[in-house]
Amino acid sequence: MKALHLFNKYIKNLTLLIDNSLINDKFQELKDFYICPICLTKYDKIDGENPLTLEDAPQKSVGGSTNTLTCKKCNNEAGFKIDHHLVNRLIDLDNSKFLPNTEVAIKTEIDGILYNATLKIDEKGIMKVFHSKKNNNPTTLEKNIPELKKDKIVDFNFIRKKIIPDKLDYAVLKTAYILLFQYTGYKVILTDNYDVIRTQILKPEKGLIPKNFYFFSEKPYYKEGIHFVCEKGLEIIMVVFTAKTIKSSRNFCVFLPIPNKNYETTLDKIFEIKRKTGEVRLSAFPENINNVDYINDLDRIQRLENWFNEFKNF
């Protein structure tokens, strides 16, 4: 039921854009179709060989919800290739913070020998390290561990999940891109600037976009949603979302291109300010994306179009 509602909602949006010439002419023949936002395959029904499936942004496991449809192939491939890197990274960040009432798998090093252990932190923050015979060579363990003297220095490392940094970046990129589609439909994503974003999501092994397209913080930065940054010279789209684990919550701030404007140059300017001043505050609209409608409200969409057109001559 939800899938059908979303299917019709975005078909209506695309039709509105086509009827009012608010989209590139090459998409004229896509009237009455739902387009997979990632691979741009067109659909006149939900089911088929490669059906449309509900897509979560961010993933449900980090507190996200389902609000769009992507084709099964894109959904599975991105899920398999990139999505889990975000979840794993958040868990690793939590583990390295020594939060009370937590238990983390670690490796200890005592006199040059490595052991598998568990670091338990109680509610008062007192840490205890446990070595079990099951996870270690029992003979070595019995011989060395009981002799540990008070004040003996024990090195340890967290056992990190297998995270490929690039793929983590593209999991963040995909989440922001899907959220942009969720709130603004086809208006923004079907512009030329977004071809590279889609290719990057589909081919995470290729480094096609600059590395400095997002940051995250533990304190809320901007309200969640889509923000059109209108600061002179820094015009860009900023997508803000929260990713939660059982132990923490983080605010991701992702920059996406504005049609007609050079993405890399703007990113460089923003991150230069951030590097110099420690933070960057940007004027943006709308205040709350949930109060405006860029899917059905023609006046709103037209205003967005006018704003994008201001950059055409630069």
CA distance 72 to 103: 36
Shortest spacing between CB 109 and Zn ion, in angstroms: 47
Look up tokens 């270690």; give the residue: 136
Shortest spacing between CB 63 and Zn ion, in angstroms: 24
Q: Candidates 70-78, 205-213, 230-238, 272-280: pick the segment binding Zn ion (CB under 5 A).
A: 70-78
Residue 144: CA atoms inside 13 Å, Cβ hemisphere, count?
19
* Inter-residue contact 165 to 207 (CB < 8 Å): no
* Inter-residue contact 187 to 27 (CB < 8 Å): no
Query: Which C-beta is closer to Zn ion: that of 74 or that of 119?
Result: 74
Region for residue 93 given its phi and psi (left: phi exceeds 0; alpha: psi -120 to 50; beta: otherwise)? alpha
User: Contact between 71 and Zn ion (CB under 5 A)?
Assistant: yes
User: Contact between 38 and Zn ion (CB under 5 A)?
Assistant: yes
Q: Candidates 22-30, 31-39, 192-200, 229-237: pick the segment binding Zn ion (CB under 5 A).
A: 31-39
Shortest spacing between CB 186 and Zn ion, in angstroms: 14
CA distance 67 to 82: 19
End-to-end Cα distance, the chain: 45
CA distance 261 to 311: 6
User: Contact between 54 and Zn ion (CB under 5 A)?
Assistant: no
User: Contact between 35 and Zn ion (CB under 5 A)?
Assistant: no
Query: Which C-beta is closer to Zn ion: that of 71 or that of 256?
Result: 71
* Inter-residue contact 216 to 255 (CB < 8 Å): no
Reported residue count of the chain is 314
CA distance 166 to 205: 8
Query: Which C-beta is closer to Zn ion: that of 74 or that of 280?
Result: 74
Query: Which C-beta is closer to Zn ion: that of 84 or that of 198?
Result: 198
Query: Which C-beta is closer to Zn ion: that of 70 or that of 136?
Result: 70
Q: Which of 3, 7, 27, 39 touches Zn ion by CB under 5 A?
A: 39
Q: Which of 14, 35, 57, 74 touches Zn ion by CB under 5 A?
A: 74
3 state SS of 171: helix
Q: Candidates 64-72, 101-109, 184-192, 235-243: pick the segment binding Zn ion (CB under 5 A).
A: 64-72
Beta strands 42-43 and 34-35 are antiparallel
Q: Candidates 36-44, 60-68, 140-148, 286-294: pick the segment binding Zn ion (CB under 5 A).
A: 36-44
Shortest spacing between CB 73 and Zn ion, in angstroms: 6
Residues that bind Zn ion (CB under 5 A): 36, 38-39, 71, 74
